Every structure is written in C-alpha cells, then in structure tokens.
A and B are shown apart, each in its own frame.
Chain A
Amino acid sequence: MGKEMLTGNGAAAWGVRLAEVDYIPAYPITPQTEIIETIAKWISDGSMDASFVTMDSEHSMITAAGAASATGARTFTTTSSQGLLYGFEMIYTVAGWRVPLVMVNVSRGLSSPITLGPDHNDILAVRDSGFLQIHCETCQEVLDSVLMAYRLAEDERVLLPVMVNMDGFYLSFTREAVEIPDMEKVRSFLPEYRPEHAFFRAAKPMAQGVAVLGGDFYSYFKYQMHLASQNALEVYKEVCDDFEKKFGRKYGTIDEYMLEDAEYVLVMINSFSTLGKAAVKRARENGIKVGLLRPRFLRPFPESEIKNALEGKKAVAVIDQNISVGKGGIIYSEMAGCLYNEVDKPLLLSFIGGLGGKNISQEEFEFIFEKMISASDTGIVEPPSLLYTESELEGMTKLKEIAGKE
C-alpha cells in the first residue's frame, strides 16, 4: 500500500485494521485516544469490519477484552498511564486466562503529581503480570509489532496476552513515514484467528478462571505461565524470520546499535533511544567507542541475547525512564540481575532520565560517557544519579518561589 505519514497512534490503529481484529472495547485516555478514534471512524465508514464499544472504565474495558478473547474473537484494546493502573487487577486476571489479547499502552507518567508527559512507570508496574511486553522506538515498529504480537500471542506454545508499548507524545503524536503492508501479505503472515485451545460454545461447556485451593496447584499454573513466556523467546525468532521474509524488516528481542566493537554501552528502551543513538553517533565521531543496546522485549526478558551482546564490554550505563521509589531504576535492577553471575561482567552504571518526558540533552549523554570511561579507568562506579541540569533546577526553583516555598 506504500508509505504514509503516520503518528505512532495512527500506526497502532493500522496494525489493528490489518490484523482484521473482530472486537475493540475502548475507553479514552490521553495520549492514547487517537488510536480508538481512528478505529471508530474506520468502523463507522465501513472500512473495518469489527465491533467497537466504549466501556465505563479501563477496569471494565480490560475485562470485556479478555472475556471476548476467551470467547474466540480476535480482540484489541489500548490504554495509558492511570488507565492501565485502573485496570491493573484485570491485567493479572486476563493473563491468567491465557488469552491472546493484544493491547497497546501509550506510556505516560503516573500520579502524583499528575502529568501528561511520558515515562515507563505505567507499563513497568504491570511487568510481572504475565503479559508479554514489546517496546517500540519508531512508528513503523509500532505497526509491525501489533501484527507480530498477534502471531506470538495466538501461538499455542505461548497463549499469553501481549502489550505493545510506545512513548506518549514523543511517538504517539510524531508523524513518520510508515510502510503500510499489503492486506493479502498480512493475511499470509497472520491468518484468521481460529482458536483450538479454549473458547465458550454451547456444545462444549468450559469453565475458565476456576479457583484452585492450595499452593501446589496455584504454583503449577503460575509456572506454566512462566514457561509459556520463556517459549515466546523462541517463537518470536520464528515470527521475526517470517516477518522479515514477507515484509523485509528485521526485528529481534534486542536492538543493537554500533555495538559490535563498542567498549561502552548505553541501555535504553523506546523512542528516547533514538536520542541515545544520535549521541552514540556523535561520540563515535570523537573517537569514543560506544554503542547502544535497546531491549525490545522486557517480558520475557531476553537474558541470553543481552549477555551475549554485552560480553567483553568495559562499562554499561542504563538510562531508566522510570523510578522505583526507594530503589532506583527498574531496568538497571533487571540488568544487574541478568549479569550478576557472569565472570567477565562489565561495570554497570545507573542513570535516571526522562521522567515525565523530561528531555535528555547531548550534554547529559556526554556526562554519561565520561562517567563510563572514568569508571572503567578507576574501577569505581559512582552511585546512581538523576539526570537533571543546572538550568532545569533553576526553572524549578523559580516555580517554588512563585509557590512561596523558597
């Protein structure tokens, strides 16, 4: 169909349209609304044959989505931030139902204070639910990931719901040239959903979400979810290979940028890694051997790929766009856990940046590169730090003066 200038939200909607989704329960929240408005318009003008319903809350929306998925309809829904948290209870429940629901989350910082700018505390809050998590850098990747997510979720070796994540504003509202795949090609990649495993029918009664009394049984089911999530790593390779054959675009569980000969590595997720890549490119021009590693999957966590990619590196700086209050960066902790048993592990530095959509400047990246180099020279890793410039602090101080607090 050729290329069109699409926002991240528009690209997500196109993914849903091309996947020929049957059912979309929806609830509006900024910055996600453009996705459901676009789908609603297509259904209204007849260009998409699906059933759309605006629910009374995200809690209800996720319930309806999971229930429809359990009934055998290919189902999509989307949310953001507080909405995701409002539906949190049902995120766990729906994952436990083992249904192949695909949901887009458009990341936005969490209250309080309330904000519209993005960071990843929303999506990372549901990290342990059983939903797989794919994190996107570009609008193209959003569209492609929605299609791949259905392939992955509906595979009988996986049967877990998937969240596709993008940054609010930076990606949701940024237009990029996006290749819209041909419908027939998409059908050959993602055939019509004909569930074999479990669905509600008159002739074949089924009980779903049944209580278990006792930890023996509970542990069994939870561990089955874990194994299915681990299976997804292998299945995803097949999905990526097939996707590349059909559409020519190559994806993996991680994205490596100038990594092969790098001595120092930035670890970032989502659209801010584009800033990181630009900083890496400039640093290379100055002779600093840096690269960037972007995990596309956070669940399942692609441990062996990450370990391989970081083998022999001197220092790794994780830039977390999230904060686990009282601990620090969440992905830093994940990386530390991943590398702990490695004999020749790189030094691991932690930075928190981009909270609530705060920019990360070129100077801040240079600061991080300096810290990595000095750590590897001295062997001393400084404590985790928040990226916050003098001028940003001045701006904040002015607001405090106005508020009468300074």
Chain B
Amino acid sequence: MDTSTIISIKELPPEENMLPGTAACAGCGGLLTLRYCLKALGDKIIIVNAAGCFTLLTIYPFSPFRNSWLYTAMACAPAGAQGVRDALDILIKKGKLDPEENLKVVVLSGDGSAYDMALSSTSGAIYRNLDFYYICYDNEAYGNTGFQHSGASPFGSRTGTTPPGKEVPVGSQLQKKNLFDIWNSHKPPYIATVSPAYPVDLMNKFKKAEQFKGPKLFISHIPCPPGWGFDPSRSVRLAKLSVETGLWPLKESVHGEVEHTYVPKRFKPVEEYLKEQERFSHLFKPVRQEDALKSIQEMVDEYWKKHEFLP
C-alpha cells in the first residue's frame, strides 16, 4: 500500500472488499467502519472474527468478503490470529508455502469481546508481539444479544442490564474502560481510535500502521441505531457528534507516544450528542439529571485539559 497521507475522501480506494447484502442492521456504524478498513487492508487478508454482531455477516453459504474468514469465539480471536500467523510463518519458512500466498491477519471484534472477555487473550497476543491488526467496533454494549451493559458502556447510559429506575435513575453507574490505555500499557507499535465519520483519518491511520510489524489496534466508536435508539439515517451524524463533542478523541499511539489526529476547533456541548439518543433520554426527562449531565461534561473537559487542548 502507498503509505503517503491522503487529504480527501476522493482518494479512498474505489475497490470494495466488502459487498452489500449483509444481515447487519440499517445504519450500522460498524459495517461502515469495516468497509473503510477493508479498503485500506485489501483482500489478501484473513479476518479472525470473535463472536458478536459480525458473526452474522457470513451465514452459510454466503459471505460478503473477498477475503478469508475464520469464526472463533468471544474470548479468543487474538489466539486464533496467533495460530494462523504462526502457521503461515512456519510453512513459508519450511518452503511449504509460496510467500505470495501469505495473508495479513486481522481480528474483528465487538466491544464485549475486546473490552471484557478477550482481554486475556488480547494481552497475550500483544505481549507476544503478534503481527496482526485488531479492529474493534465499539457500540458500547453487547449489541448482538440486544444491547446489554459491557465494559465499554458509558456512565449514564441505558442498556438492557442497566435500566434506569427509581433506585438507580442514572442507568449505568460505571465509567467506560479505557481500552486505548490498556493496549498502550503493553507498548505495541501502533494504536488508533477511528470513526466512520472520518474516513480520511481512518485511511491514513491504516497507511501509517502498515509500516509496523507487531500488534496494531483500531477502535472505532460506532453508532448502533437499535441499541442507541435513533433513526438509521442519522448514524454518521452521531459518529461525528461523538468526536465534535470531545467524547471520542481521534488519536494514535506510535510506540507509546500519543498524538491527537483531529481536535475540534470548538467543542460542542456533550448534551448535543446525548439528547439525540434514546439510551440517554432518562437524563433529560421526566426530570433533568443535572448532576449526571454535569459529570459527563466534566469528564470530557478534564480529558482535554489534561492534554492541553482546553485551558
């Protein structure tokens, strides 16, 4: 792949490596992310898929991919990637496989797997410096089972297992885990956050990652129309709002050095993002939960203050 930076959406490769007609929900931000990721990765790849929404992209005998695909389970897609990578390497080394037949190994998982169940196998794969790409589509809950709380669910959100009620009006009382920092503490060569609303930024990150041998992570914050509760036509708008409000910082880490790749000139109030979604509606009605809204805004402000983009 040409690793020079692109500046316009017109420069995205025209090839589609993910074909239409999948069983994904209308407006799925994850599918949009994946489409861009596959433009960047090409078709000489194997996707090792953790159980999740995207397990249902391939339903026998159909596949929307031009590339190979392996289903594992929620806890172990990085281990599956290890087996494929090691097998290709040893077969090439022994002269049993033409290097032309080599594949890039890509893990694809939702946040439930990435943030929770597969943390152990992910940590192991990074620790062993496995040469692979890890794409996490993060819709902030267990989407495939109907939207229950995961380690990625944000404070104040309604999920199937954190329903707001008289005793717990706020919904989820826990803060979203910081997967970027968890990965970064392992010091892999490359980590990035991406968004389907910023495809140029996404593409350039893949181009940059290409040069590194070792674990490469991409976490995409993705709107989920049925889970978040919004009209599918507004998916990209919401992905954009999560960045413009500062809730989802677009950044990358190269060997542990973190840099932001896009900083909004003016941060929109988080309320603009929250009020568009059914999963936060309890924060606004029947009564405004002022403390909760304030604490979400403060959390965002603190982050940007720490990185000296806010006074």
Contact = CB atoms under 8 A, between A and B. Distances in A.
B87 A56 contact: no
Contacts of A192: 96
A317 interface: no
A219 B65 CA distance: 26
B94 interface: yes
B271 interface: no
Contact of B83 (A71, A201, A205, A211): A71
B91 A73 contact: yes
Given A67-B83, A208-B69, A211-B58, A200 B124 contact: no
Interface string A54-72: 0111011101111111111
Interface string B57-72: 0111101011111111
B71 A210 contact: yes
Nearest to A205: B68
Contacts of A61: 79
Interface residues of B, number: 50
B70 A209 contact: yes
A276 B248 CA distance: 68
A89 interface: yes
A60 B120 CA distance: 9
Interface in A1-57: 22-23, 25, 49-51, 53, 55-57
Given A25-B86, A63-B80, A211 B48 contact: no
B139 to A, nearest CB: 19
A209 B82 contact: no
A207 B76 contact: no
A75 B91 CA distance: 12
Nearest to B75: A59
Contacts of B127: 56
B121 interface: yes
Contacts of A65: 83
A25 B120 CA distance: 16
B63 A67 contact: no
B127 to A, nearest CB: 8
A25 B83 CA distance: 8
A98 to B, nearest CB: 13
A75 B90 CA distance: 11
A232 B58 CA distance: 30
B43 interface: yes
Given A63-B72, A67-B70, A72 B58 contact: no
Given A22-B94, A25-B82, A210 B87 contact: no
B87 A90 contact: no
B84 interface: yes
A217 B97 CA distance: 34
A202 interface: yes
Interface of B: 43-44, 46, 48, 55-56, 58-61, 63, 65-73, 75-76, 78-84, 86-91, 93-94, 96-97, 100-103, 120-121, 123-125, 127-128
Q: Which 10 A-B pairs have the closest CB atoms?
A: A56-B124, A67-B83, A209-B71, A60-B79, A64-B83, A71-B87, A68-B87, A73-B87, A68-B83, A63-B79
